[in-house]
Structure 1
Amino acid sequence: MGIDITWARDELAQFLKLTELYRPADPPGVMTVSSHLSNRGSPAEIVASAHVVEQILDRVLPRWRTEVPGDRNKTVNRWCQHREAAQRADAAMQRDAEVRARLGDDAPQLSAGFMHPWAWDGAKALWRSGHFREAVTAAARKVNAETQNKVGRRDLSETKLFQSVFSQNSPKAGEPRLRLMVDDGGDTFRSVHRGAMAFAEGCYAGIRNPNSHEDGLPELPEHEALEQLAAFSVLARWVESAAVETA
């Protein structure tokens, strides 16, 4: 499901209003000389709003914590990083389609936040700090672990695990299979499971292993890492949707 743009923008606007700085009025009959500024909202209101706003920012600007400057004017307003990120996110949601169309690239956009949770949840902490290669590796481990959990096997992992679970052979004791469709003896069943096995092998042999075992590799560009993460998201959806067949 996509973001509810209207709701998200309203939440950002409310947060920006609460964190706006102003100079409190002097008490009646008293004149003070002070440069002290206050937020319009109470600390409790701002913290409650920030809880929601941070989740919106994580979806719209996944790397806002590292890409948006966080040390400017914190002595004046501790929420300065959140405010700038909120303003950027609001502009992104409001004008993203327009900007892409005007720049000549209105192709569909791929967002990690919409990928399968096994892939994104495993990767997001490292992703947000710019460790893209390690993030993809973490996603691969998460998909492997969830597959092991689904079929109840810890004796196999990664390539050998997927060769077993997507095998077209009948299940044996201690060797359950994952079925993406009912085995009707037809070519489609054989093609689907042969393809799933080959795809999983490619993910681990061609993506996970080089990322994990090659020292000194340069950091992956973010768009390449996103493509690799998408591959594990596809595999995760297949595994989650598959039926477990036991002997």
Structure 2
Amino acid sequence: MTIDIAWARQEFAQFLQLTELYRPADPPGVLTVSSRLSNRGAQADVVASAQVVERILDRVLPRWRTEVPDDRNGMVNRWCQHREAVQRADVVLQRDAEVREKLGDDAPQLSAATMHPWVWEGARSLWQSGHFREAVTAAARKVNAETQNKVGRRDASETALFQSVFSKDAPKTGQPRLRLTADDNSDTFRSVHRGVTAFAEGCFAAIRNPNSHEDGLPELPEHEALEQLAAFSVLARWIDTATLAT
């Protein structure tokens, strides 16, 4: 799902207006020495606007909380980080296509936020703090858990679980199956379910297991982690859309 750019920019503009900084006049006869600035809008209105703006920022600049400088002590104003992030994100919304074209990089973009919800919900918090390898592992755990939920099983997980649920054998008591095509004993049926099983095994054996079990691995580059998330997103969509056969 794409962002409604006009709506997002309107929310940004409203937030910037509410958080415009100014120095209140000193009361008569009082001289205040402080670098702290106030916002034009009422605090309740700013907080309400920030609730929406933060969700937009998470889509446009997923790492804004760590990449945009934060006035941690509130010495100037508590909303300074938000204001700079909004200003950056507004430029992205306006000029991203232009910048990518001028830099010769107008290829299609892959966004973690548009992946299957199981994957992004599992990865989001770790991803936004720059822990990409752990984010992929969390997404894998989420896909495994949602598969267990769908088939109502806790006695199998990961490779064993996917071998069972996508088995071409008929369902048994306590062993339901997931079907992506009708079980008509055709070559297509056998090929699809053999392929999904192998794909799931590869995701967990070659991505999830090394990420989880090998200590001292360097942090994944963001683009590589994104590719790994995409693999789990493909698997998640197959599982989510599959028909449960009992």
Shorter-chain TM-score tier: over 0.9
Q: 1:135 to 1:15 in 2, by over 3 A?
A: same
2:230 is aligned with 1:230: yes
Q: Which residue of 2 aligns with 1:161?
A: 161
Which 10-residue stretch deviates more, 37-46 or 100-109?
Answer: 37-46
Letter in 2 for 1:183: D
2:2 is aligned with 1:2: yes
Please report how far the alpha carbon of residue 71 of structure 1 lies from its aligned counterpart in structure 2 after TM superposition: 2.2
Q: Distance in 2 between matches of 1:146 and 1:12?
A: 35
Letter in 2 for 1:210: P
Q: Which residue of 1 aligns with 2:70?
A: 70
Please report how far the alpha carbon of residue 185 of structure 1 lies from its aligned counterpart in structure 2 after TM superposition: 2.3
Please report how far the alpha carbon of residue 73 of structure 1 lies from its aligned counterpart in structure 2 after TM superposition: 8.3
Q: Which residue of 1 aligns with 2:50?
A: 50
2:106 is aligned with 1:106: yes
Q: Which residue of 1 aligns with 2:80?
A: 80
Q: How does 1:161-240 map to 2 (within 5 A)?
A: 161-240=161-240
2:8 is aligned with 1:12: no
Is residue 162–residue 197 contact of structure 1 (8 Å, CA) maintained in 2?
yes
Q: Which residue of 1 aligns with 2:91?
A: 91
State the identity as a percent.
77
Please report how far the alpha carbon of residue 103 of structure 1 lies from its aligned counterpart in structure 2 after TM superposition: 0.1
For residues 139-182 of structure 1, give each alpha carbon's deviation from its aligned partner in whole angstroms, at most 9, with x where no partner exists: 10110011011101111100010001011111111111000011
Please report how far the alpha carbon of residue 33 of structure 1 lies from its aligned counterpart in structure 2 after TM superposition: 5.9
Letter in 1 for 2:184: D
Q: Distance in 2 between matches of 1:188 and 1:149?
A: 27
Is residue 71–residue 77 contact of structure 2 (8 Å, CA) maintained in 1?
no
Q: Which residue of 2 aligns with 1:129?
A: 129
Is residue 207–residue 228 contact of structure 1 (8 Å, CA) maintained in 2?
yes
For residues 126-145 of structure 1, give each alpha carbon's deviation from its aligned partner in whole angstroms, at most 9, with x where no partner exists: 11111111110111011001
Q: Distance in 2 between matches of 1:127 and 1:178?
A: 30
Q: Distance in 1 between matches of 2:110 and 2:57?
A: 16
Paired residue secondary structure (2:12): helix
Please report how far the alpha carbon of residue 32 of structure 1 lies from its aligned counterpart in structure 2 after TM superposition: 7.2
Q: Distance in 1 between matches of 2:165 and 2:24?
A: 66
Please report how far the alpha carbon of residue 190 of structure 1 lies from its aligned counterpart in structure 2 after TM superposition: 1.1
Root mean square deviation of aligned Cα: 1.7
Q: Which residue of 1 aligns with 2:152?
A: 152
For residues 21-40 of structure 1, give each alpha carbon's deviation from its aligned partner in whole angstroms, at most 9, with x where no partner exists: 1244689xx68766774311
Is residue 139–residue 229 contact of structure 1 (8 Å, CA) maintained in 2?
yes
Please report how far the alpha carbon of residue 216 of structure 1 lies from its aligned counterpart in structure 2 after TM superposition: 0.8
Structure 2 stretches of 5 or more lacking a match? none
Q: Distance in 2 between matches of 1:131 and 1:39?
A: 34
Q: Distance in 1 between matches of 2:206 and 2:244?
A: 26
Q: Distance in 2 between matches of 1:176 and 1:147?
A: 11
Paired residue secondary structure (2:178): strand
| Number of aligned residue pairs | 244
For residues 5-45 of structure 1, give each alpha carbon's deviation from its aligned partner in whole angstroms, at most 9, with x where no partner exists: 10001001110111011244689xx6876677431101111
Please report how far the alpha carbon of residue 189 of structure 1 lies from its aligned counterpart in structure 2 after TM superposition: 1.1
Paired residue secondary structure (2:220): coil
TM-score, L = length of structure 2? 0.94
Please report how far the alpha carbon of residue 118 of structure 1 lies from its aligned counterpart in structure 2 after TM superposition: 0.7
